[in-house]
Structure 1
Amino acid sequence: MVFKVFFPTCCTSADSGLLVGRWVPEQSSAVVLAVVHFPFIPIQVKELLTQVQQASHVGVTVLGTWCHRRQGPEEGLGRFLEGLGTIFSHDPWLQLCRQRGGTSWSCKAVGQPMSPGVPSDDQVLLVFYDQRQVLLSQLHPPTVLPDRQAGDAPASAGGLAAVFDTVARSEVLFRSDRFDEGPVRLSHWQSEGVEASILVELAKQAAGPTCMLVSWLLSLLSAVSTCRLFRLWPLSFICSKLSTCEQVRHRLGHLSLLFSIQGAETPAQLMRKANVFVSVLLDVALGLMLLAWLHGKDHIGQLADTLVPVADRVAEGLQHLLQWLMGAPAGLKMNRALDQVLGRFFLYHIHLWISYIHLMSPFIERILWHVGLSACLGLTVALSLLSDIIALLTFHIYCFYVYGARLYYLKIYGLSSLWRLFRGKKWNVLRQRVDSCSYDLDQLFIGTLLFTILVFLLPTTALYYLVFTLLRLLVVTVQGSLHLLVDLINSLPLYSVGLRLCRPYRLAAGVKFRVLGHEAGKPLRLLMQINPLPYSRVVHTYRLPSCGCHPKLSWSSLCRKLFFGELIYPWRQKSCKQD
């Protein structure tokens, strides 16, 4: 059986001493974490390892000796290192040595329990790894590795989870301010000390009181929002349908998470907080840019002067469309009486809407000015408010769609019921199925008469329903585009994507091995490199929950609803639960 030794690259130039690490018996491998240098007292080394075990709950022990012969062979030092095995008993006992020039390595495992006798060097696999990258990386489940260069050998992430876990949990050993200043001198990736920043330390000191203050303000705001006044039926119904209220509620949840006094317990929670922080920061920055653009060079006044003429042109276009439908659209012969009734009914609604727009025209600029201030809360809030404004400005189109859909649905429902009457069938409400039924002559006559009337009135109703459904779908498409942009800003894990771009080793999908050298009678030396997580998996793994819960309809169900005249509500449904 091959014996694997994971050795950090930062210790390849360290002076001779003891190898400190963890033995993983199920993997037949030893993970070297640091090198203890001379001079040292054995009892002090044992006390150090005891402190590390109590702090990290990792079985850190002395694995063997490390000999670095810089000038030439040192026989006295070699015999002294071999004698340390009697003081620090460990089975197997490693003897790792680097010859002069660093081109030749030797590694022995004395007393290895898996093989009888003393194994030779060719039974040992020496794997070098970057200790800093392994410590800071998060190992994800294994995936299909990308194309690798010649000489590379893949390895699954599952078999190396123990190595990553050992290095991550032994972080207390790498704290220079705790152990390196003591009587025992160590070599690891932080042996030269940790860089500190005064600004970072001041931010850490101010974070506690700031989080407590903001958390108290958010709890007060949450208590005000749960007042009984906001639970009354008209107000609660309107707030549940407005995208702005949903987005503000979603951002309040993000702020509560960011300024929570409780810290992140797992790396996943810490990553989620970082993604939320970057998302909120980018949202507010884009909102401030939009606010500066709106209040600069009188853009709000220009928008207010453009809004009323655009509304007039839309209303005029609808009037021309209705007049075209009231004639002979595309040469179709319609039911004139029903056509005139529906056309005049919709024209009256357009007249009411134009009167409402002209009544509100003197206040539109002031309304837009106050609406523009909402951009300071974030671009998503401004986009949600824009979606609500579009819904209010096109409310007459929504009314036309509801009227046409309900009238069309009643005709389709009546025709389907009368069609069952001709076949001697009826719908059993109790058993929710179609049963046989016998009808008398009067019922068949009335049914035939009603069926004929509905069939001749259906083309006129279907034409109005088709036209206003297309208009409604156009408005829903515009609102859906705004909602997609809001969901993209809310859910895109920008911090994780940036981390994958700048430091790809932080998000690891697995590892690969590159052969460094192999000599006869010498251990095979490999370099372990981290395979970064693909961008698609980064987005899928760390994607944040969206604020809205919109109905997810397939194309088949959507077409079925449109064909039978069922209403399609683009807003949030009660049955959906927000994440």
Structure 2
Amino acid sequence: MVLKVFFPSCCSSADSGILIGRWLSEQSSAVVLAVVHFPFIPVQVKQYLGEVQHLTKVSLSVLGSWSNSKQEKEEGLSEFLEDLGTIFSHEPWIQISKEGDSKFWSCSTLQKHSSSPKEEEVILVYYDQRKVMLSHLHPPLDTGDGRAEDASKLSAIFDTVARSRVLFMTDRYDEGPIKLTHWQSEGVEASIIVELLKQTSVPACMLFLLSLVSGICRSRVLKFWPLSFLWSKLSTCEQLGHRLQHLQVISSNKKAQTQTQLMRKANIFVSLLIDVALGILLMSWLYRKNRIGHLADTLIPVADHVAEELQDLLQWLMGAPAGLKMNRALDQVLGRFFLYHIHLWISYIHLLSPFIEMILWYVGLSACLGLTVALSILSDIIALLTFHIYCFYVYGARLYCLKIYGLSSLWRLFRGKKWNVLRQRVDSCSYDLDQLFIGTLLFTILLFLLPTTALYYLVFTLLRLLVVIVQGLIHLLVDLIDSLPLYSLILRLCRSYRLAAGVKFRVLEQQDGKPLRLLMQINPLSYGAVVQTYRLPTYSCYPKDSWASLCKKLFLGELIYPWKHKGEKQD
């Protein structure tokens, strides 16, 4: 039988004493947590372990003895250690001794209460107590090769060290009847400022602002039309609502129950902090050297240039585009209809031109709420400035869709079929001569008018897709800032042991007649696994249709709504 003893490397220079830890009988393992120095009173040690066990719910006991003595004192100390085994009566009693400056340690077991004691092979495993205590072990998936079972055994060791945090609150130099040696003997890890940041997630001065914004957003005014429509369709409102949920999470008084919830709070806090910092940098850049004034001055010429290009495109479509022969009457009607829309839009832009600089000046102030809010406002501005292109796309798509469904219905008429609305299927049907004549006439008219309508629909759909692609790139950047677990990535970069994917063992020394000495090292999670595990959810403004469904809708002329969110049904 092989006995595994996990010994903290920080106790290798501790004075002689007894070993405190947990015995894992199902794994034949002993996890040493601290060393109690001589002199001590056994009753006080038992009382102290009882108090710690009541707080941590971990069955702690005295596992054995630790000797860090010189050669001339070894005989008297060995007799005293045997007497300690009788007092604390743990089976098996582990004896670890460091012989002077030798690199080989002695580790043996005693079974004084057993009638037939057995010789056990001992493996001494060193571990970094501080790293194991602060680590969060991520078990791998059970693939059938035994990795999940090994991870469950390691999780018991990680859990024992993490839950025994109370035991590490007493330093070796603290006053008291019991003197301990553990990882804090080499210094406490965090400063006072870091510990305060762990306890409070937001400053107290933000609580009033959060309550005010939360009260406004929960008011019934936003539930009435058209405010409810604007709140659900504008990207800025969606982003503000999303960030409000984040603020409510990090300002909540409810304590995180699991490591995942704690990491989620930290990721949200860092994401908000970096988002606001980038927004303030953008705001300072905009208001420096009158860049907002230059932007307002260039907006009107750009709008005029886009209008001229659209007018030239419509003039080209009203002629003979690419040598195609179009239906002249329908072509002229559609062309003049769209030209009139462009004229109305340009008149509206010039009407707003005196107020554009003031509007941009106030819009630039919104960057202090975060870079994502500024990007969402930019997406809404693009949607408003290209609203005429969206109208062209809707008109063309509706007209094209009407003709496609009309042609498909008349095609069923020629085959003696009809669409059964109640049963949602195609049934056989007999038509008379008048119905066939009118159906043939309508089919011919729609078929010859289809190329003209299809060309307008194709051109404006491509323009609409261009605008949607630009907005999609902006929303991808917003989703990246919202969902990227920045705190976890920084933790993986600076302190990789905090996110453990497993452990590896390195042989320190091996000699006949001596216990095998191993060093347990932590394998950190990969960066891809960190992003996948701690990625934050977003509201995601992109269509959830597949590519095949999207192409089918474009071919049939059905409208594509890029603002539809997850969980919503498209009309």
TM category, shorter: over 0.9
Aligned to 2:217, which of 204, 216, 225? Answer: 225
Where does residue 275 of structure 2 map in the other structure? Answer: 283
Is the partner of 2:91 in helix, strand or coil? coil
Q: After alignment, is 82-91 or 366-375 more displaced? A: 82-91
Pairing 1:567–2:559 present:
yes
8 Å CA contact 1:244–1:388 kept in 2: the answer is yes
Count of paired positions: 566
Where does residue 184 of structure 1 map in the other structure? Answer: 178
* Pair 1:298–1:549, CA change in 2 (3 A): closer
Post-superposition CA distance 1:40-90 (Å, at most 9, x none): 110111111011101111001000111123455611101111211110011
Amino acid at match of 1:132: R
Runs of at least 5 residues in structure 1 that lack an aligned partner in the other structure = 146-152
Residue 12 of structure 1 deviates from its aligned partner by 1.2
Aligned to 2:519, which of 527, 533, 543? Answer: 527
Is the partner of 2:5 in helix, strand or coil? strand
8 Å CA contact 2:541–2:562 kept in 1: the answer is no
Where does residue 507 of structure 1 map in the other structure? Answer: 499
Where does residue 148 of structure 1 map in the other structure? Answer: none
Where does residue 398 of structure 1 map in the other structure? Answer: 390
Pairing 1:131–2:129 present:
yes
Post-superposition CA distance 1:480-499 (Å, at most 9, x none): 11101111111100010000
Q: Distance in 2 between matches of 1:413 and 1:489?
A: 43
Is the partner of 1:481 in helix, strand or coil? helix
Is the partner of 2:58 in helix, strand or coil? coil
Is the partner of 2:45 in helix, strand or coil? helix
**RCO greater where, 1 or 2, for CA within 8 Å and sep 6 or more?**
1
Q: Distance in 2 between matches of 1:411 and 1:185?
A: 89
Q: Distance in 2 between matches of 1:331 and 1:408?
A: 21
Residue 423 of structure 1 deviates from its aligned partner by 1.4
Where does residue 31 of structure 2 map in the other structure? Answer: 31
Where does residue 492 of structure 1 map in the other structure? Answer: 484
8 Å CA contact 2:171–2:181 kept in 1: the answer is no
8 Å CA contact 1:72–1:100 kept in 2: the answer is no
Amino acid at match of 2:420: N
Amino acid at match of 1:21: G
Structure 1 runs, 4 residues or longer, greater than 6 Å off: 112-115, 201-205
Residue 261 of structure 1 deviates from its aligned partner by 2.1
Is the partner of 2:528 in helix, strand or coil? helix
Where does residue 294 of structure 2 map in the other structure? Answer: 302
Where does residue 174 of structure 1 map in the other structure? Answer: 168
8 Å CA contact 2:202–2:251 kept in 1: the answer is no
Alignment of 1:15-414 (within 5 A): 15-71=15-71, 74-111=74-111, 117-120=117-120, 123-142=121-140, 156-176=150-170, 180-194=174-188, 197=191, 199=193, 207=200, 210-211=203-204, 214-414=206-406
Amino acid at match of 1:351: H
RMSD over aligned Cα atoms:
2.4
Runs of at least 5 residues in structure 2 that lack an aligned partner in the other structure = none
Where does residue 547 of structure 1 map in the other structure? Answer: 539
Pairing 1:5–2:5 present:
yes
8 Å CA contact 2:544–2:566 kept in 1: the answer is no
8 Å CA contact 2:540–2:566 kept in 1: the answer is no
Residue 367 of structure 1 deviates from its aligned partner by 0.6
Q: Distance in 2 between matches of 1:33 and 1:78?
A: 22
Q: Distance in 2 between matches of 1:549 and 1:470?
A: 20
Is the partner of 1:323 in helix, strand or coil? helix
Residue 562 of structure 1 deviates from its aligned partner by 0.6
Q: Distance in 1 between matches of 2:192 and 2:507?
A: 43
Residue 462 of structure 1 deviates from its aligned partner by 0.6
Q: Distance in 1 between matches of 2:194 and 2:490?
A: 21
Q: Distance in 2 between matches of 1:115 and 1:240?
A: 78
8 Å CA contact 1:112–1:118 kept in 2: the answer is no
Q: Distance in 2 between matches of 1:384 and 1:81?
A: 71
Amino acid at match of 1:136: L
Amino acid at match of 2:246: H
* Pair 1:180–1:89, CA change in 2 (3 A): farther
Where does residue 433 of structure 2 map in the other structure? Answer: 441
8 Å CA contact 1:176–1:191 kept in 2: the answer is no
Is the partner of 1:128 in helix, strand or coil? strand
Residue 177 of structure 1 deviates from its aligned partner by 6.0
Is the partner of 2:537 in helix, strand or coil? coil
Post-superposition CA distance 1:364-398 (Å, at most 9, x none): 11110010000011111100000000000000000
Residue 29 of structure 1 deviates from its aligned partner by 0.5
Residue 547 of structure 1 deviates from its aligned partner by 3.3
Residue 250 of structure 1 deviates from its aligned partner by 1.2
Q: Distance in 2 between matches of 1:19 and 1:438?
A: 95
Where does residue 459 of structure 2 map in the other structure? Answer: 467
Post-superposition CA distance 1:103-148 (Å, at most 9, x none): 222222223999952314xx11111100010000000012699xxx
Q: After alignment, is 234-243 or 540-549 more displaced? A: 540-549
Q: After alignment, is 178-187 or 401-410 more displaced? A: 178-187
Is the partner of 1:233 in helix, strand or coil? coil
Q: Distance in 2 between matches of 1:351 and 1:209?
A: 52
8 Å CA contact 2:540–2:565 kept in 1: the answer is no
Q: Distance in 2 between matches of 1:70 and 1:194?
A: 30
* Pair 1:245–1:342, CA change in 2 (3 A): same
Q: Distance in 1 between matches of 2:565 and 2:184?
A: 54
Post-superposition CA distance 1:261-298 (Å, at most 9, x none): 22323221211111111111111111111111111001
8 Å CA contact 1:279–1:490 kept in 2: the answer is yes
* Pair 1:395–1:493, CA change in 2 (3 A): same
